[in-house]
Amino acid sequence: MDIFHDNPMLAGVRQMLGAFAKQSIRPIATLHDREETMPWTLMKSAQAFGLTQTAVIDGRKAMTGKDEEPSDGKKPSSAARMSCVGSEELAWGCAGISLALGGSGLAASPVARMGTDEQKAEFRRCLAGVDEHGHIKVAAMALSEPATGSDISGLSTSARQDGDHWVIDGHKQWINKGGSASIFVFWALTDPAACRAGVRGFLVARGTPGLIPGRKETKLGIRASETAQVHFEGCRVHKDMMLGIGGSTSGLADTKKMLDSTRPVVGAQAVGIARAAFEFLLERVASGSVRGTPMASHQHLAFELAEMEMEIQASRMLVHRAAWMADHHQDNVRFASIAKAHAAKTAQMVTTRAMALLGEEVLEPGHPVDKWYRDAKIYDIFEGTGQIQRRIIARSLLGQNPT
Ligand SMILES: Cc1cc2nc3c(=O)[nH]c(=O)nc-3n(C[C@H](O)[C@H](O)[C@H](O)COP(=O)(O)OP(=O)(O)OC[C@H]3O[C@@H](n4cnc5c(N)ncnc54)[C@H](O)[C@@H]3O)c2cc1C
């Protein structure tokens, strides 16, 4: 029985996006992986499913067609669990394509948390319609820099106030959709003396002078999701576009807080990759034979399957625990890291073992297990590496500030 059988909304999202992943994502996954291209046509058609680039800001209505229930800030929602359910299904289809479909959520998340009504309207305005190539418009979240990934307190992108504007200089690296985004949410140091407390988020639209999309990166995995550099050279951003001016501090603590809501979703994607490789292997073991002996009669293969199933089920439960806590407005910093780290480990374990057990066939070009193996690695790197998740978990256990 599905764990969501008593929640028709979550069960419905799982069913709808699972069917979409099977019918529309799987058939084009190899092509976009090989060509390292974004699935622009699919991204446009996916909007009909509520997979809009502003879904995080638009809330529940984006996925269910129903209005968000009024929230007093205490009433539980299902938004985080819904994102996790959907993300697992989409990543089962293809992790790179799932990031292309929902990747603007990373930029939308801080705007939803810290943005003023004007900033939310600007975000929506920049993503309305199509760009000069006829592609739907997307957003990028630019935090990482060439010398600053894990330790974001070492940001060197600077914001200097000049009248009603901030003047931005610096370089961002490894930015999802960095080459094609129509709006960027980026982070810069407004006061070097304040160090961590001086980090602020800003919104800036594509085409603003001094905002220069840079080189597109060639990657091992998630190749259907574009990753690029972004440069700021004297880029002037109006002061009204600084996040947090509506009340929140928008400093580094808030920046890190946004990862507590996105990490369970990233963990769910890792579960989707693990499940994809596991199902492929299961089908092989159930129906295949080795020198006349059914594969299923080999105990070591059966035990490998059992081990994988235990880890996948455990990862999914951890993801949904962290998401449930977010939906119930509980501090989930430790559990978001546990979920993300465990799911990333599971995706790597399952895909690596599937490669070994399937043998030479996975070396054929375009083999799906080879792709899932390559896709899984990034889940141990972005949104905080495996080491950083363990650092957060340990600090939380020891009563220290986890972030
Ligand atoms: C495909 C891809 C897409 C990405 N998308 C985005 C995006 O859209 N936006 C964005 O802002 N960033 C993005 N990133 C950047 C990503 O978040 C960083 O790569 C990641 O945070 C790690 O930073 P780093 O690469 O600088 O490694 P480093 O921070 O230099 O770490 C190097 C190694 O040291 C370890 N390490 C570092 N500090 C510690 C510590 N205190 N204790 C123990 N070990 C430590 C790390 O775990 C790692 O193994 C993306 C990266 C990739 C590869």
- CATH number of the domain within which 36 lies: 1.10.540.10
> To which residue do tokens 């998740």 refer?
389
Q: What is the CATH number of the domain that holds 205?
A: 2.40.110.10
Q: Which residues line ligand 1 (CB under 6 A)?
A: 106, 141-144, 149-151, 174-176, 219, 222, 227, 378, 381-382, 385, 387-388, 391
Nearest protein Cα to ligand 1, atom 2: 174
Residue type for position 122:
E
- For every one of its 403 residues, what pLDDT tens digit does the chain have, with 9 covering 90 and above? 667 777 889 999 999 999 999 999 999 999 999 999 999 999 999 987 777 777 777 764 544 455 445 455 678 888 899 999 999 999 999 999 999 998 788 899 889 888 999 999 999 999 999 999 999 999 999 999 999 888 877 899 999 999 999 999 999 999 999 999 999 999 999 998 887 788 899 999 999 999 999 999 999 999 999 999 999 999 999 999 999 886 655 566 666 777 778 899 999 999 999 999 999 999 999 999 888 999 999 999 999 999 999 999 999 999 999 999 999 999 999 999 999 999 999 999 999 999 999 999 999 989 999 999 999 999 999 999 999 999 999 999 999 988 7
**In this predicted structure, what is the pLDDT of residue 1?**
60
Looking at the domain assignment, is residue 403 inside a domain?
no
Q: Are residues 369 and 256 in the same domain?
A: yes
273 CA distance to ligand 1 centroid (A)? 21
**Residue 364 to residue 41: CA distance in whole angstroms:** 28
Residue 246 pLDDT: 66
Same domain, 257 and 237: no
Of 176, 210, 241, the last residue of a domain is 241
Q: Looking at residue 109, what is its pLDDT?
A: 87
In the reported structure, the alpha carbon of residue 260 is separated from the centroid of ligand 1 by a whole-number distance in angstroms of 16
- CA of residue 384 to ligand 1 center, whole Å: 6
Three-state SS string across the chain, please?
Answer: CCCCCCCHHHHHHHHHHHHHHHHHHHHHHHHHHHHCCCCHHHHHHHHHHCCCCCHHHHCHHHHHCCCCCCCCCCCCCCHHHHHHHHHHHHHHHCHHHHHHHHCCHHHHHHHHHHCCHHHHHHHHHHCCCECCCCCECCEEEECCECCECCCHHHCCCEEEEECCEEEEEEEEEEEECCCCCCEEEEEEECCHHHHHHHEEEEEEECCCCCEEEEEECCCCCCCCCCEEEEEEEEEEEEHHHECCCCCCCCCHHHHHHHHHHHHHHHHHHHHHHHHHHHHHHHHHHHHCEECCEEHHHCHHHHHHHHHHHHHHHHHHHHHHHHHHHHHCCCCCHHHHHHHHHHHHHHHHHHHHHHHHHHHHHHHCCCCHHHHHHHHHHHHHCCCCCHHHHHHHHHHHHCCCCCC
Count of domains for the chain:
3
Quote the ligand 1 centre to 333 CA distance (angstroms).
Answer: 18
The pLDDT of residue 70: 45
- For position 75, what pLDDT does the model report? 85
- Are both 78 and 136 inside the same structural domain? no
Q: Phi, psi (5° rounding) for residue 321?
A: -65, -50
On whether both 236 and 161 belong to a single domain, the answer is yes
Q: Do 297 and 186 fall into the same domain?
A: no
> By residue range, what is the domain housing residue 353?
252-397
Is 263 contained in some domain? yes
pLDDT (0 to 100) of residue 152: 78
Whether 222 and 309 share a structural domain: no
* Strands 139-142, 183-189: pairing kind: parallel
In this structure, the answer to whether residues 231 and 339 fall within a common structural domain is no
Residue 1 within a domain: no
Task: Give yes or no: residues 362 and 306 share one domain.
Answer: yes
Same domain for 142 and 88, yes or no, is no
From the CA of 148, give the closest atom in ligand 1. 26
For residue 352, the model assigns a pLDDT of: 98
pLDDT of residue 251: 62
pTM of the model as a whole: 0.93
Among protein residues, the one with the nearest Cα to ligand 1's atom 35 is 387
* 283 given a catalytic annotation: no
180 and 311 within one domain: no
Residue 148 sits in the same domain as residue 60 = no
* Residue 328, φ and ψ in degrees, nearest 5: -100, 20
Residue 99 in tokens: 């990031």
For the domain that residue 287 is a member of, what is the CATH number?
A: 1.20.140.10
Ligand 1 atom closest to residue 177's alpha carbon, by position in its atom list? 8
**How far out from the chain centre does Cα 403 lie?**
19
For the CA of 383, the closest atom of ligand 1 is 17
